[in-house]
Amino acid sequence: MKNGRTLWMLGLTVLWCLSSLAPAGAQGVSVIKPQELRDMGIFDLGFRLVSFSEDGKTLICTEKARFGEKKEGITYKLWVFRLGSNGALTGQKAIPLKIPAALQTTLTPDESKAVILTDSGATYLIVDLNTGATEPLMTHQKGRPGFRGFPAILWVEDDHLLTTGYFYDEQDFAANDTIATIDLKKRGLEAFKPGPNVAAIHSEAGHVQFGSWTGVNRGFIGVNLASGGQALKFWKNGQGIKELDRTGKMFSSLWAAGNRAVACVQRDDGTSEAVVYDAQQDKKWVLGSGNRPYGYSFLSKDGSTAVVCHLYVDNSKMHVYYAKEEEGFQLKPVEGLQGVTLGTLRLAPSGKRLAHFSLDGLTIAELP
């Protein structure tokens, strides 16, 4: 997920917001039509965007295998797309996989490999993007201690590969939930370094409903309030927990990076806002406010570029917007992604490239 990012939430809730939009800057758009995807062997059902490389020149995706492939033992494929200028496709390949499921997938910090969390969180599989070779990083073995990813979250932060989950002993008794740092030079239990006690942090925060960890030392937490509504809080190791915002209604679509997060907030009066929070500086920017649905938000690695959407459930359409800190976080339309069919999105860590996949194909949009 959170890349797969850091996000863990109890579902995506559509909120209602409306904003005035500034004119868009120059952008480039590349579209791969459904028939072109089918010619590559890609079909709509079971195809999922995963994540971009830092520079946006590589996009990885997963796809469930089709019947003929399953007869050969192949259950999933990891697609690697190479992109050139303006997001144009320069090459692609599919790596066949024999795994129960692709619960979460992310690139390694050096971006030469991908790590897939599978087998109900019991197995971490390394996939070499160049050779297609696979190697288990961690797998459950009866009578031996190990680590299980739960919930299924795997992401890169501060150049470290992180995962949520718990250690277990020889009898499969679980320890407290934690955020572990993975050492890709090691294998098995030795590859996982324990982090904070997540249960203790949650206990201090309150009735936790959602959250997004942005490292072993910090994270954003949403809690239900006894009086009704929700509060968004920020935890930092050594500094404790502080409240950033609260509402008599609810938050949704939280996406965080470092000390910043973007979320949609339904206010007490029925209006909704799309907001970027800076927990370190105690600042926030309201990107938009009103009565139309906002959702599906993203944030670049440095927190300077946000992406949010207007979602029109009645006609299955979406309008995608971006906002940059250097421009005062003014919402601007993403060229090529206005009134498009509802689909999935992924933002490159640099905030320079955005992918949209739907029944209408795969679109790669450049952001200024």
What percentage of the chain reaches a pLDDT higher than 70? 93
Element of type H or E holding 68? helix 67-70
Confidence of residue 207 (pLDDT cuts 50, 70, 90): very high
Task: Give 199-244 as a 3 state SS string.
Answer: HHHHHHHCEEEEEEECCCCEEEEEEECCCCCEEEEEEECCCEEEEE
To the question of pTM greater than 0.85 for the whole model, the response is yes
pLDDT digits (tens, 9 = 90+) for 4-44: 333 333 333 333 233 334 444 447 999 999 999 999 999 87
CA-to-CA distance for 192 and 362, rounded, in angstroms? 36
Query: Percent of the chain beyond pLDDT 90?
Result: 85
The band of 317, judged by pLDDT with boundaries at 50, 70 and 90, is very high
Between CA 294 and CA 76, with CA 150 as vertex, the angle to 5 degrees is 80
**Angle, alpha carbons 312-314-317 (nearest 5°):** 40
Number of domains making up the chain: 1
Distance of CA 278 to the CA centre of its chain: 19
- Confirm if 124 and 148 have CB atoms less than 8 A apart: no
pLDDT tens-digit series, residues 119-140 = 999 999 999 999 999 999 999 9
59: domain CATH number? 2.130.10.10
Task: Give the per-residue pLDDT at 15.
Answer: 30
User: Mean pLDDT score of the chain, rounded to an integer?
Assistant: 92
Backbone angles phi, psi at 302, to 5 degrees: -90, 0
Let me know if 199 is exposed, middle or buried by CB neighbors in 10 A (0-12, 13-18, 19+): middle
CA 8 from chain centre, in angstroms, equals: 9
Grouping H, G, I as helix, E, B as strand and the rest as coil, residue 95 is strand
The neighbour count for residue 68, using CB atoms within 10 Å, is: 8
Mean pLDDT, residues 297-320 taken together: 93
Q: Which domain covers residue 307, as residue numbers? A: 2-366
Give the position of tokens 């079971």. Answer: 46
